[in-house]
A and B are shown apart, each in its own frame.
Chain A
């Protein structure tokens, strides 16, 4: 790590570059900006206008090529918020320039890419953390705590659901070759939570839209059996046209049932006929978080603390790659029509 400035609390200031000025780039810039020991030095985007907008909001320099960032010794870490299919283009120079890396999920688009990333990051001495943000949601962490404490007894059925509006046929998300479709891009959250809380998956049988129907909003239903013997059902939808963000979880065990539905426990609900500013910028739905426990801030803080204290992050790249590999198994099952 570059020496950095020393602050009052003697924690080194961490100097970041945000790669990508889309939805997640904006969100992470905002999340990191709330942390006292962070400064955002660069915002990089292929097109200048969004980079400039985001950079000026955070007092950073906007660039349209990444080279300047990787060559600058005063950048400690990069936050990768670029489309999934471009992962290696930013990871390779990040590793060769020895930057700490925070990478938005999903970490890999294919098994080939996962293998390359694993080889690339093996023995890399800097912090690498992946944005498996569900692990930082209070609700999911609490479900996990109760399950591990034995509060629901022997787990029999886990039902997870994630329904959002369609990112749009013109978006790179709509092309499975670029995003991995709804199973990889959206359900990576639930697949990672499933593995983290309930262990590995023995067998999956997955259904999603046939690829011939691309251009229609993707939808997937997964039927899984875990190594523990418990069953799991996971729904992923870009087919809910309201664009509202809906996530639910239910765990059924021998001692009871835990249920969570984000639409029944909102701190704030707004109904208005005025089109929202977010609505006109973006059709990608994100959870509205209570600012005091914003999971994006929590994961940003964890990444910074790992850099400052030189400890490995709770979400390692290996963990995240394994969750990607489970998603690849699901996609294979759906494509081939057989259990995997």
Chain B
């Protein structure tokens, strides 16, 4: 019998990717999708054909419907949804960031633990084969003594609820800090100890920051800068954005590009230079890990606590932006 997974909310831009991966996954049945907003449903009508659709996710809490749930709502709605599914004892994979405040994230962790429900966080970067190889090379001493990391996780300005601080909890810092932070915690098996950040709203008429630059220190004495800006032009840039991580050591440098520009297409019909990147099936591997965890065949690659650790850096970054000082974790 196949594993019945549910997708709760189509709010996050990643939901389309999850839909298409879940539909093609062997051993998995996309049992239901919950989304109250008809506009979002019709945007993804092509992928929702033949799937049970409910407008109120509470219907999916009843026993015997789902073996696991993927929560893909606006950031501030993660908490009530996670609490509900935890109490219903349904394993959860939650979109990042885990929540908009650490105090909420801790409560989510506690409730999941009390009900013995696995809580995974969507950090697909962990599944990058390039990142895994980089980790091996670093551990083998290929770079000598590691000094620093220069990273970017930049994107287009996503609009929608992402720019509504009530729903998102913040702008570019909230959206784009956690992926690289989680990847570096995993790569170095070290924690972040100090956070400094500059941020501003410069590029778009929105009420949240669209440029952000973090300088971080880790317990292994590596220093890191992370450009988390929504600085890729929305209309003219050929790809959505990037995740780049350059690791600098005393004996060498590793440059990781998780989405390398692979195929150029000078397109007459769109009058644009289009580019295809190679994604490396990160989302499929993330979902497979969740499925394997439910079936007792694996452990979650990134669990709730990893989500909290990443959010702590975000919270410290906002504190640093407000005080213009470095913040100790």
Contacts and interface: CB of A to CB of B under 8 A. Distances in A.
Interface of A: 153-157, 159, 203, 205, 207, 209-210, 213, 216-217, 219, 221, 223-225, 229-233, 235, 237, 239-241, 252-254, 256-257, 337-339
A252 B196 contact: no
B253 A156 contact: no
Nearest to A220: B148
B28 interface: no
Contacts of A240: 253
A162 to B, nearest CB: 12
Given A237-B253, A254-B204, 16 more contacts: A157-B211, A157-B213, A203-B324, A207-B225, A219-B147, A225-B200, A231-B199, A233-B213, A239-B249, A240-B253, A253-B202, A257-B231, A257-B232, A257-B233, A339-B325, A339-B326
A157 B210 CA distance: 10
Nearest to A207: B223
A256 B147 contact: no
25 contacts: A154-B202, A157-B202, A207-B217, A207-B225, A213-B147, A216-B250, A221-B150, A223-B197, A223-B198, A223-B213, A230-B211, A231-B198, A231-B213, A232-B213, A233-B213, A233-B227, A239-B248, A239-B249, A240-B253, A253-B202, A253-B203, A254-B202, A254-B203, A256-B233, A339-B326
Interface in B272-294: none
Nearest to B249: A239
A219 B148 contact: yes
B100 interface: no
A112 B253 CA distance: 36
Interface string B223-246: 101010101110011000000000
Contacts of A254: 202-204
A239 B250 contact: yes
A256 B233 CA distance: 6
B203 A154 contact: yes
Contacts of B204: 254
Interface in B145-170: 145, 147-148, 150
Contacts of A339: 196, 324-326
Contacts of A205: 196, 198, 215, 326
Contact of A241 (B227, B233, B251): B251
Interface residues of B, number: 39
B80 interface: no
B207 interface: no
Contacts of B213: 157, 223, 231-233
Contact of B225 (A157, A216, A233, A257): A233
A197 B199 CA distance: 20
Given A207-B148, A231-B211, A339-B196, A241 B223 contact: no
Contacts of A232: 213
A225 B229 contact: no
A239 B253 contact: yes
B202 A229 contact: yes
A224 B198 contact: yes
Contacts of A159: 227
A203 B196 CA distance: 12
Given A205-B326, A221-B148, A237 B196 contact: no
A239 B200 contact: no
A254 B234 CA distance: 10
Interface string B156-194: 000000000000000000000000000000000000001
Interface string B205-222: 000001111110100010
A156 B248 contact: no
A203 B253 contact: no
Contact of A225 (B148, B198, B253): B198
Contacts of A156: 200, 202-203, 210-211, 229, 231
B141 interface: no
A221 B198 contact: no
A338 B248 CA distance: 22
A241 B253 contact: yes
Nearest to B237: A257
Contacts of A252: 203, 211, 229, 231
A231 B214 CA distance: 11
Contacts of A153: 203
B252 interface: yes
A217 B147 CA distance: 10
Contacts of B196: 205, 223, 339
B324 to A, nearest CB: 6
B273 to A, nearest CB: 13
Given A216-B147, A229-B202, A157 B250 contact: no
B231 A221 contact: no
A330 to B, nearest CB: 12
A240 B247 CA distance: 11
Given A157-B211, A223-B196, A338-B325, A239 B147 contact: yes
A230 B150 contact: no
A233 B217 CA distance: 16
A245 B294 CA distance: 51
Nearest to B214: A223
B150 to A, nearest CB: 6
